Amino acid sequence: MSDSLYSRKDISKILTRASEIQTRKELYGDKEGLTEEELIQVAGEVGIDKESLIEALGTYDISNLNDDYNWFKATSRIQKIANINGEVSDEDWEAIVQEIRKVTGGIGKVTKTTHSFEWEQRRQNSGYKHISLTPNDGKTKIQLVNSWSGFRFLSTFISCMVAFTIASIALDNSQLSDIALLIAAGSGALFGFPISRLILSSHYKKQKKQAEDLLQNISAKLRTERETAISIEETEVYESKKESTSESSQVRT
């Protein structure tokens, strides 16, 4: 044992760290992590219900690109990628398309390629949404891209024009009539630009929330479909065993 003396601050840090190490050992043992089933069991022991944990698992492995709004550039593109357990099937895809339409409130072009299921929606002079599900090696990769560069341009242009028009009317009969047009143009940029950024910020938050809802709903739908399929399969196996047992009993009698 060392004869070193530890301050109260050091003791507090050491005890906190020791507690963390002990907790990790109790949870994981000698393993680096937990399986999904083990995590559900641990969550139940601390009062977290299975449904909440499954929803969290469905959205944990999500990569966010362009996840912060840039006020000057007015971010107009969101890309999210998620990987979930289980491979999407043709039957799953039909249910997922209905879910996509419900969340987006629109109809898109549905296609199926050799490697993925895709849904795309394009709006003239506004932007587009593209969702793809790629099954591979027991998992499904969900990729969502949403772009509204056309809407960004229109919002900026209209906001600046409105500010320019108001400034022009206000300066029309003023003593600054000689430079009124120049002042109005400056006012249009000075006031119209930040107004457009406020509008686009609100739109960005709305689209981001929609993208997150889509990923959550798609993940939940895949899990529900898979659990339903397992339940049906177990029921069929049970019925088969029941019939087999019944036939055996009849033979004996």
Residue 202 lies in a domain: yes
CATH number, domain of 103, equals 3.30.530
Asked if residue 118 lies in contact with residue 96, where contact means CB atoms within 8 angstroms, the answer is no
Q: How many domains, the chain?
A: 1
Tokens of 87: 């491979």
Length, in residues, of the chain = 253
Residue 39 lies in a domain: no
Provide the pLDDT for residue 21.
64
Over range 6-30, report the average pLDDT: 68
Asked if residue 219 lies in contact with residue 85, where contact means CB atoms within 8 angstroms, the answer is no
Tokens of 32: 């680096």
Task: State how far the Cα of 163 lies from the Cα of 218, in Å rounded to an integer.
Answer: 42
pLDDT digits (tens, 9 = 90+) for 27-85: 555 555 666 666 677 667 667 776 666 666 655 455 555 567 888 888 889 888 888 87
> How large is the angle between the packed helices 50-60 and 36-45, nearest 10 degrees?
130
Helix (H) or strand (E) holding 113: none
Long-range contacts of 6-11 (CB under 8 A, 24+ apart): none
Asked if residue 111 lies in contact with residue 118, where contact means CB atoms within 8 angstroms, the answer is yes
Provide the pLDDT for residue 119.
93
Task: State how far the Cα of 56 lies from the Cα of 78, in Å rounded to an integer.
Answer: 21
For residue 219, pLDDT beyond 90: no
Q: Ramachandran region of residue 138, left (φ > 0), alpha (ψ -120 to 50) or beta?
A: left
Asked if residue 104 lies in contact with residue 121, where contact means CB atoms within 8 angstroms, the answer is yes
Residue 159 lies in a domain: no
CB atoms within 10 A of CB 187: 19
Residue 174 lies in a domain: no
DSSP three-state, residue 136? strand
Provide the pLDDT for residue 232.
43
pLDDT digits (tens, 9 = 90+) for 183-199: 777 777 788 888 999 99
For residue 107, pLDDT beyond 60: yes
For residue 133, pLDDT beyond 90: yes
Where does the chain show beta strands of DSSP type E? 62-65, 77-85, 109-112, 117-123, 127-136, 139-147
Torsion angle of the four alpha carbons 41, 42, 47, 50, in this order, in degrees rounded to the nearest 10: -40
Task: State how far the Cα of 24 lies from the Cα of 14, in Å rounded to an integer.
Answer: 15
pTM: 0.60
Q: Which residue has the tokens 């599900």?
A: 133
Angle at 244 between CA 240 and CA 249, to 5 degrees: 150
Residue 166 lies in a domain: no
Tokens of 232: 């049906």
Task: State how far the Cα of 210 lies from the Cα of 241, in Å rounded to an integer.
Answer: 46
End-to-end CA distance of the chain: 77
Provide the pLDDT for residue 244.
54
Residue 46 lies in a domain: no
Report which residue type is found at 115: H
* 117: containing domain: 62-151+195-243
For residue 159, pLDDT beyond 80: yes
Confidence tier at 200 by pLDDT (50, 70, 90) = very high
Residue 80 lies in a domain: yes
Residue 207 lies in a domain: yes
